[in-house]
Structure 1
Amino acid sequence: MSRAFTREEDSENAIAGIGERPVSQHRNLVTPKGLAMIDAELAGLRAALANAETASDRERIALVSRDLRYWNARRENAELSVPEPNSGVVRFGMTVSLEGEDGAAVSWHIVGEDEADPAKGSISHVSPVARALFGKAVGDTIAVNGREWEVVGLG
């Protein structure tokens, strides 16, 4: 095949030896904070692309362009979701407090995939724990990885 018939983005990726960032097949639910995070990523990447183009840094252009394609796709299919006030059951965007059978306590804020950070107390809505929690109320229990947890609070 002639090089004249290759897509520009393919040649950009070949320069840096990178592939595309995979876009999740799950619904792209986002909290207001998650939507703002996506918008901030896009703004930062647009500025980075302008700087890379000014410097004629082809490898950096390829990397930033790839990330821009990813975040543009995530922004296009983002679905802002805010839980109903005073909902009695676990929904996307809520913080859920759990207590284990051993008395251990943990709280998880259920958020979109891109904003999830378990080390900071937020989990993706497609995680096994979040899926087990959806629709549960205070007093209900879930079993995850062989451990039982009771829902003790919703926020």
Structure 2
Amino acid sequence: MPAQRDYITRAGWQMLRDEADHLWRTRRPAVVRALADAVAEGDRSENAEYIYRKKELREIDRRLRYLGRRLDQLVVADARPDDPGRVFFGARVTLIDEADHEHIYRIVGADETDAATGAISLHSPVARALLGRTVGDAVAVSLPGGQTEFEILAVAYPG
């Protein structure tokens, strides 16, 4: 069975790349300088600044290793689909639920989900139910609160 690909939008990939650059070029050098200053103070066993900076440096290095591996694994999916009326990765989908509440979701990779902006993972129950559907389709989704039915009002691809 082939390995599952991890997709990400171009903007999401750039956000992770910018985070890695910021950590490497700005944050890490500042912590290394602060650590060197703490070492110059002498006794390291009771030096709270030294202990804190060592921990902070480990966390930065851990995040940099993760981002390096993750950026190599991700596949940027920024091509427009042949049928822009269907829901695929990167789509912004407007739905209406049974209570006539409107919901707007954007289907993105797991690394760029954000509930506040409506960015949901490609692997979420709602996204899986929407994939391949078109405007006017009714979709039943099993959510933690029970079965919910949505109707697709609009599909758009930003950018």
Matched residue type, 2:14 = A
Matched residue type, 2:94 = S
Matched residue type, 2:27 = A
1:112 CA drift (Å)? 1.3
After superposition, residues 1-155 of structure 1 pair within 5 angstroms as 27-46=5-24, 47-56=26-35, 57-82=53-78, 83-84=80-81, 86-144=83-141, 145=143, 146-155=147-156
Matched residues in 1 for 2:75 and 2:140: separation? 29
Matched residues in 2 for 1:131 and 1:43: separation? 33
Say how many residue pairs are matched. Answer: 131
1:40 CA drift (Å)? 0.9
Please identify the structure whose Cα radius of gyration is greater. Answer: 2
Q: Matched residue of 1:91: which SS?
A: coil
- Structure 1 segments unaligned to the other structure (5+ residues): 1-24
**Does the CA-based 8 Å contact 1:90-1:154 persist in structure 2?**
yes
1:86 CA drift (Å)? 4.9
Q: Matched residue of 1:118: which SS?
A: coil
Extract structure 1 runs of 4+ deviating beyond 4 A: none
Matched residues in 1 for 2:154 and 2:66: separation? 36
What TM-score do you get using the length of structure 1 for normalisation? 0.78
CA RMSD of aligned residues (A): 1.6
- Structure 2 segments unaligned to the other structure (5+ residues): 36-52
Query: Structure 1 residues 26, 54: closer, same or farther in 2, change over 3 A?
Result: farther
Write the deviation string for residues 113-136 of structure 1: whole angstroms up to 9, x where unpaired.
121101211111111111111111
Q: Matched residue of 1:154: which SS?
A: strand
1:89 CA drift (Å)? 1.1
Query: Structure 1 residues 27, 58: closer, same or farther in 2, change over 3 A?
Result: same
Matched residues in 1 for 2:32 and 2:118: separation? 38
